[in-house]
């Protein structure tokens, strides 16, 4: 059965417009277009998908939390954990995948514990910075045990690989990819100096963005910054915009469009203020439209895409003042912006679907001679 050409991608919810969600769906589409049989297995209570899934890729939804819930007590949660392991095994046996790719640590752990390794190759696909993975003692013990038994751990950058190699020697780097930008008017008028596309929460640093914006507008009040996103701190952001009188300067746009090419082309710079990232796909999307990118130098993530001084700038993590200064200084150098813009497109061009697929195919080939099980 391990020679089956069926790939099952076990993932969390896919109904919102985030980089994780886009990576799950576009990768499933890519595998399908390369001749694989693909199933998306959504182990969450939300069954819908935000981005389009290719015809022929079934989306199977089964809500399994493996006892990671605030409901009940320690005994009921452990019983729920055992019951969900059984349900997962039954589901996987019915799907009969040759490869099971798990995008969350508890999915990969549960797959090992339910015995799926007896009939499929289990691969974890790490989309979250290891430093943000908070587990209680029970789950940490299970994680350490199960991850040593995985067939492979796919990481998005070399720093993450170094961490996971201390647990599993078969940790490999396969970055996410971006598809070619939608064709449009390359001479579109630039209406915004800055654009940010993000979730409004602490990890994405929306509070740091607000502090950075306040510094930027205090020195150059005529700038315009478009902010596209959604999240639990939306009301806090809107209150900040109102309080500071930035309604015509810091322009909020809800994340209700799948295609943002026109918005990217209408800006000069892209700014990210995340506290933690793993491999921020949005940076590549911005670069594919020729936008120099500025970001905090997180533990991992932006530094694997942004080459400071080449296609953008990295500044001290979680420090709004250096970032604001970098934004202001770069906006005063149109020749440098143009140079970085050209370099940004070059960077984005190295993360095409075909380039990244070859890495996945090499991983699959390491488990069988014929990648399509012939």
pLDDT tens figures, 128-177: 988 888 899 999 999 999 999 999 999 999 999 999 999 999 999 999 99
List strands edge to edge, sheet with 269-272.
250-254, 225-230, 194-199, 269-272, 293-296, 312-315
Asked if 27 and 167 sit in the same domain, the reply is yes
Q: What is the pLDDT of residue 186?
A: 53
Token pair in block for residue 135: 């587990």
Q: How many domains does the chain have?
A: 2
Determine the Cα–Cα distance for residues 20 and 267; give it in Å rounded to an integer: 24
> Could you write out the three-class secondary structure of 141-181?
HHHHHHHCCCCEEEECCHHHHHHHHCCCCCEEECCCCCCCC
The domain of 208 spans 194-348
In a domain, 370, yes or no: no
Asked if 155 and 202 sit in the same domain, the reply is no
In a domain, 374, yes or no: no
In a domain, 93, yes or no: yes
State which H helix or E strand residue 323 sits in: helix 320-331
Is the CA virtual torsion 229, 233, 234, 240 positive or negative? negative
The counts of H helices and E strands in the chain are: 12, 13
What residues have CB less than 8 Å from 140, skipping those under 6 apart?
Answer: none
In a domain, 183, yes or no: no
Among 36-45, 261-270, 301-310, 364-373, which stretch is predicted with the lowest mean pLDDT?
Answer: 364-373
The pTM of the full predicted model, rounded to 2 decimals, is 0.92
Asked if 214 and 337 sit in the same domain, the reply is yes
State which H helix or E strand residue 24 sits in: helix 19-33
Percent above pLDDT 90 for the chain: 89
C-beta separation of 120 from 1 below 8 A? yes
pLDDT tens-digit readout, 170-194: 999 999 999 888 766 555 566 899 9
195 in helix, strand or coil?
A: strand
Determine the Cα–Cα distance for residues 290 and 344; give it in Å rounded to an integer: 6
* Residue 194: alpha-carbon gap to chain centroid: 22
Asked if 326 and 214 sit in the same domain, the reply is yes
In a domain, 187, yes or no: no
Determine the Cα–Cα distance for residues 267 and 287; give it in Å rounded to an integer: 12
């Amino acid at each position: 059965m391990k020679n089956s050409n069926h790939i099952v991608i076990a993932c969390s919810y896919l109904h919102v417009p985030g980089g994780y969600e886009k990576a799950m769906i576009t990768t499933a589409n890519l595998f399908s277009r390369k001749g694989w049989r693909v199933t998306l297995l959504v182990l969450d209570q939300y069954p819908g998908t935000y981005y389009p899934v290719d015809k022929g890729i079934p989306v199977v939804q089964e809500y399994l939390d493996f006892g990671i819930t605030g409901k009940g007590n320690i005994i009921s949660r452990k019983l729920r954990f055992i019951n969900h392991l059984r349900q997962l095994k039954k589901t996987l046996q019915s799907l009969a995948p040759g490869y099971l790719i798990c995008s969350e640590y508890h999915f990969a752990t549960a797959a090992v514990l339910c015995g799926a390794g007896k009939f499929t190759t289990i691969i974890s696909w790490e989309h979250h910075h290891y430093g943000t993975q908070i587990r209680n003692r029970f789950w940490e013990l299970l994680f350490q045990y199960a991850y040593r038994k995985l067939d492979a751990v796919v990481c998005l950058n070399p720093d993450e690989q170094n961490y996971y190699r201390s647990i599993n020697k078969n940790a490999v780097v396969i970055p996410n990819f971006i598809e070619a930008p939608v064709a449009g008017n390359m001479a579109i008028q630039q209406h915004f100096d800055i654009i940010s596309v993000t979730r409004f929460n602490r990890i994405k640093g929306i509070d740091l963005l607000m502090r950075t914006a306040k510094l930027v507008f205090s020195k150059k009040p005529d700038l315009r910054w478009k902010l596209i996103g959604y999240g639990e701190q939306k009301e806090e952001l809107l209150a900040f915009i109102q309080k500071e009188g930035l309604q015509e300067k810091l322009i909020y746009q809800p994340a209700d469009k799948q295609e943002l090419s026109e918005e990217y082309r209408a800006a000069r710079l892209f700014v990210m203020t995340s506290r933690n990232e793993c491999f921020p796909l949005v940076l590549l999307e911005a670069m594919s439209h020729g936008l120099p990118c500025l970001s905090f130098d997180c533990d991992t993530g932006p530094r694997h895409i942004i080459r400071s001084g080449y296609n953008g700038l990295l500044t001290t993590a979680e420090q709004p003042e250096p970032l604001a200064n970098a934004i202001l200084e770069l906006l005063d150098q149109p020749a440098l912006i143009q140079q970085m813009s050209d370099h940004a497109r070059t960077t984005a061009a190295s993360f095409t679907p075909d380039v990244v697929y070859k890495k996945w195919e090499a991983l699959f080939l390491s488990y069988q001679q014929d990648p399509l099980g012939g």
